[in-house]
C-alpha cells in the first residue's frame, strides 16, 4: 500500500563546474596612410566586449571583440608618439564534456597580456592572452518528502537543513553615456590608451525588482595637437533594474556585468571632451535561504516498509565577504630622476590560494606599470611589483566551498621623492563570494508491504559498536528510540559510546524461545 507523503518543492541551481580557460586572439593592423612609420611599440591596451554566448551540447561558443589601442614611437621627430586604434575579432569554441544546451553560463574575461610587435614600418601584429573563468549552472525543480500522513506506526529519522533555493534570474541592458572633460588648453588629436574597470558594485531589492548599481571607471591617455601627452579620468554610473518575480529584501543575489559594445571618440559637439558610450549587459540570479525538513530514513516495528533513496545536489551557505586593505610601499625607480609619471596601471594578481584551519590565505602581487615621459617628450614604460597577502578568517567547511574572489583597486596615489623614489599608496578592495555544494539524501515512493509475522515481546542485550546511533539500533531490532532510552535510563538520545551495554526491547519472531533470544549477543 502506498504511503501518503507531504512534499516541499525545492528549486535547485547547482553549479556543474568552474573552469579557467586561456585563449589567444591575434591579428594584424596596417598603419593608416595619415600616420607616420612605426619605429617601436611603447604600450598596448584593450577592452574585451562579449556580445554573444551560446551553449550547445558539450561546447560553448563565444563571440566578441577586443577594442585595442597601440601607442608607438614614430620616425617623425615632430610627432614622436602616435597611436592606432583597432578592433580584433574574438570567436572561440570551447569543448566542455557533459554540458547541455539547457544549462546556463557565467563567463568572466580578463586580459592577462596584450602585446604588439612591429613586422615592418607599416604593419603591426597584435596578440592578446585572455583568461576566461567559466561557471556552468543547471536548474532543476525537485520535490522533497518531509513528512507522512496518518502513519503513527512508522518511525521517521528527520534532518533539518538550510539550503539556497533559486527564486529566479533576469537580465537587462544598460546604456551608459558620458562626456569626459580634458584640460581646456588641450586640443585632442587621438586616444593613445584606454582602460575601463567596473567597480563599486551594489544592489538594492524592492518589490519584484533588483536595482543594480555600479560604476565604470574610465582612464584615457591622449595626444594633443602640440604633441603633449595627458590623462583624463571619469566615473560613469551604471544603474538598471532587473525584474525577478517574488524577490524580496531578505534574498541573496549574484550579479554580473559584461561590456558588449563601446564607442570612444572625440566629442564633435562639446570641445575639450571625449564622448564614451557603453552597452552593458547585467544578469542577476536571486536565491532565498530556505530551511527544509528531510526524511533520511524510516521503518515500522509492525509493518514491512519499502522505499527508494535518492541524492540531490544543491548549494548552501551563500554569502559575500568584503575586505579592504591599504598598501604603502616605497619604490626605487631610477628613471624618475629625469622623467615624469603620466599614468600608472595597477593590476592585482592572486598567485596562490590555500587554507589553514578555518582560514583562507591569499598570496599575490600588485603589478604596477608606470608610463614615464622625459623632457624630450619621449615615452617609456617601467614595471614594478608589490607583494601582498590577506586572509579570510572563521570560515567553516573550507574543503567543500566554491570561492570567487574579485579585487578592485580603489584610491591610489604616487608621491615622487628625491633620488628616484616613489611612495605608492594603494587601496585594495576584496570581494569574495562563497557557497558550498551539499548532497541531500532523501527518500520517495514509500509503501507498506504487509505486516510482520505475529510477534511476542522480548528483551536482548546489545553491545554498542563504533558509528552506532540509537536510530540504527532501534531499526535493526524493530524497536523504538524512546523504548531503548527508557529501559536503559538514557537522558541524551545522541550520547552512546562503543562498548556500552544496552538492553533492547524488541519483538521476537514467532517460534523463538525467550532463552534463545536472551542469549544472542550482537557484539
**Each residue of 116-168: pLDDT tens digit?**
999 999 999 999 999 999 999 999 888 888 888 877 778 888 888 899 999 99
Q: What separation in angstroms does the CA of 499 have from each of 196, 463, 496, 518?
A: 67, 6, 9, 18
Q: What percent of the chain has pLDDT over 90?
A: 61
5 inside domain: no
Same domain, 353 and 489: no
**155-181 β-sheet, strand order:** 155-181, 273-299, 252-266
Q: Which has the closest alpha carbon to 93: 134, 133, 66, 62?
A: 62
Looking at the structure, tell me whether residues 474 and 340 fall in a common domain: no
The pLDDT of residue 488 is above 80: yes
What cell was used for 318?
A: 551563500
SS3 for 225? coil
Mean pLDDT over residues 369-381, rounded?
Answer: 88
Same domain assignment for residues 16 and 70: yes
Counting every residue written for the chain, the total comes to 523
Residue 154 lies in a domain: no
Range of the domain at 476: 453-518
Computed over every residue of the chain, the mean pLDDT equals 89
pLDDT for res 253: 93
Mode of pairing for the β-strands spanning 339-356 and 303-332: unpaired
Can you give the pLDDT at residue 513? 42
Greater pLDDT, 362 or 443: 362
Categorize the per-residue pLDDT at 376 as very low, low, confident or very high, splitting at 50, 70 and 90. Answer: confident
Number of domains, the chain: 2
Residue 394 burial (C-beta neighbours within 10 Å; 0-12, 13-18, 19+): exposed
377 pLDDT above the threshold of 90: no
* H or E, element range at 483: helix 481-488
User: Do residue 430 and residue 457 come from a single domain?
Assistant: no
Domain assignment of residue 65, yes or no:
yes
* Span of 53-67, 382-396, 508-522 with lowest mean pLDDT: 508-522
pLDDT digits 0-9 by tens, 477-486 = 888 898 999 9
Q: What is the SS3 assignment for 475?
A: helix
Q: Is residue 143 part of a domain?
A: no
Where does the pLDDT of residue 512 fall: very low under 50, low under 70, confident under 90, or very high at 90 and above? very low
Rounded Cα gap, residues 370 and 414, in angstroms: 10
Q: Which residue has better confidence, 152 or 509?
A: 152
Residue 187 cell numbers, joined: 586640443
pLDDT score at 522: 37
pLDDT of 507 above 60: no
Instruction: Write down which residue in 438, 473, 490 finishes a domain.
Output: 438
Judgement on whether residues 429 and 486 belong to the same structural domain of the protein: no
Q: 24: closest CA among 88, 99, 120, 117?
A: 88
Note whether 379 and 429 are same-domain residues: yes
User: If pLDDT is split at 50, 70 and 90, which confidence band does 88 have?
Assistant: very high
**From the centroid of its chain, how far is CA 157?**
35
C-alpha cell at 269: 559637439
Domain membership flag for residue 153: no
Asked whether residue 224 falls in the same domain as residue 171, the answer is yes
Judge if 407 and 258 occupy the same domain. yes
Whether residues 372 and 503 share a domain: the answer is no
Last residue of a domain, one of 438, 468, 501: 438
| Nearest in space to 69 (alpha carbons), one of 268, 221, 275, 225 | 221
Instruction: Indicate whether 409 belongs to any domain.
Output: yes
What's the CA gap between 31 and 403, in Å, rounded?
Answer: 44
Residue 305 within any structural domain of the chain: no
Residue at 304 is within a domain: no
Whether residue 507 sits in one domain with residue 478? yes
pTM above 0.85, yes or no: no
Contacts of 469 (CB under 8 A, 6+ apart): 494, 496
Instruction: DSSP for 114-129, please give it.
Output: EEEEEEETTEEEEEEE
Of 373, 407, 438, the one marking the end of a domain is: 438
According to the model, what pLDDT value does residue 157 have?
86
Q: How many CB atoms lie within 10 A of CB 235?
A: 13
Beta partners for residue 295, in sequence order = 158
Q: 254 with 363, same domain?
A: yes
Same domain? For 249 and 183 the reply is yes
CB 325 within 8 Å of CB 474: no
Q: How high is the pLDDT of residue 521?
A: 37
CATH of residue 486's domain is 3.10.350.10
How big, in percent rounded to 5, are the helix, strand and coil portions of the chain? 5, 75, 20
Distances (CA, A) of 278 to 174, 258, 308, 416: 8, 10, 54, 35
pLDDT in tens, 345-360: 999 999 999 988 889 9
Amino acid at each position: 500500500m502506498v504511503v501518503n507523503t507531504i512534499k516541499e518543492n525545492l528549486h535547485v541551481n547547482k553549479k556543474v563546474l568552474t573552469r579557467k580557460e586561456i585563449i589567444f586572439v591575434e591579428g594584424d593592423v596596417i598603419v593608416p596612410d595619415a600616420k607616420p612609420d612605426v619605429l617601436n611599440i611603447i604600450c598596448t591596451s584593450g577592452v574585451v566586449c562579449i556580445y554573444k554566448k551560446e551553449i550547445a551540447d558539450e561546447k560553448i561558443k563565444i563571440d566578441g571583440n577586443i577594442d585595442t589601442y597601440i601607442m608607438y614611437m614614430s620616425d617623425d621627430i615632430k610627432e614622436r608618439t602616435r597611436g592606432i586604434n583597432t578592433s580584433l575579432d574574438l570567436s572561440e569554441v570551447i569543448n566542455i564534456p557533459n554540458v547541455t544546451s539547457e544549462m546556463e553560463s557565467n563567463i568572466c574575461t580578463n586580459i592577462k597580456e596584450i602585446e604588439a610587435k612591429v613586422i615592418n614600418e607599416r604593419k603591426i601584429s597584435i596578440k592578446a592572452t585572455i583568461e576566461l573563468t567559466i561557471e556552468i549552472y543547471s536548474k532543476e525543480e525537485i520535490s522533497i518528502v518531509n513528512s507522512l500522513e496518518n502513519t503513527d506506526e512508522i518511525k521517521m529519522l528527520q534532518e533539518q537543513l538550510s539550503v539556497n533555493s533559486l527564486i529566479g534570474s533576469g537580465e537587462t541592458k544598460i546604456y551608459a553615456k558620458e562626456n569626459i572633460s580634458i584640460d581646456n588648453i588641450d586640443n585632442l588629436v587621438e586616444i593613445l590608451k584606454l582602460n575601463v574597470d567596473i567597480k563599486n558594485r551594489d544592489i538594492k531589492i524592492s518589490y519584484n525588482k533588483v536595482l543594480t548599481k555600479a560604476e565604470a571607471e574610465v582612464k584615457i591617455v591622449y595626444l594633443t595637437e602640440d604633441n603633449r601627452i595627458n590623462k583624463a579620468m571619469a566615473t560613469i554610473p551604471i544603474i538598471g533594474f532587473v525584474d525577478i518575480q517574488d524577490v524580496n529584501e531578505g534574498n541573496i543575489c549574484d550579479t554580473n556585468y559584461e561590456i558588449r559594445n563601446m564607442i570612444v571618440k572625440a566629442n564633435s559637439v562639446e570641445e575639450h571632451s571625449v564622448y564614451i558610450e557603453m552597452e552593458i549587459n547585467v544578469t542577476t540570479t536571486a536565491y532565498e535561504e530556505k530551511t527544509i525538513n528531510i526524511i533520511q530514513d524510516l521503518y515500522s516495528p509492525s509493518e514491512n516498509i519499502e522505499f527508494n533513496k535518492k541524492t540531490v545536489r544543491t548549494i548552501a551557505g551563500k554569502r559575500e565577504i568584503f575586505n579592504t586593505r591599504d598598501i604603502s610601499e616605497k619604490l626605487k625607480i631610477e628613471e624618475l630622476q629625469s622623467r615624469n609619471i603620466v599614468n600608472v596601471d595597477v593590476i592585482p594578481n592572486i598567485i596562490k590560494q590555500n587554507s589553514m584551519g578555518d582560514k583562507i590565505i591569499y598570496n599575490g602581487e600588485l603589478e604596477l606599470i608606470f608610463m614615464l615621459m622625459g623632457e624630450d617628450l619621449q615615452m617609456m614604460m617601467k614595471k614594478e611589483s608589490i607583494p601582498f597577502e590577506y586572509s579570510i578568517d572563521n570560515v567553516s567547511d573550507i574543503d567543500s566551498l566554491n570561492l570567487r574572489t574579485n579585487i578592485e583597486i580603489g584610491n591610489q596615489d604616487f608621491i615622487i621623492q628625491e633620488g628616484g623614489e616613489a611612495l605608492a599608496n594603494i587601496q585594495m578592495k576584496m570581494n569574495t563570494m562563497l557557497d558550498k555544494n551539499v548532497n541531500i539524501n532523501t527518500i520517495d515512493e514509500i509503501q507498506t508491504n504487509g505486516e510482520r509475522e505475529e510477534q511476542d515481546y522480548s528483551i536482548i542485550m546489545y553491545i554498542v559498536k563504533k558509528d552506532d546511533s540509537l536510530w540504527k539500533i532501534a531499526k535493526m531490532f524493530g524497536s523504538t528510540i524512546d523504548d531503548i532510552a527508557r529501559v536503559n535510563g538514557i537522558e541524551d538520545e545522541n550520547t552512546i559510546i562503543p562498548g556500552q551495554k544496552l538492553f533492547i526491547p524488541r519483538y521476537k519472531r514467532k517460534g523463538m524461545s525467550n532463552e534463545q533470544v536472551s542469549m544472542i549477543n550482537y557484539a
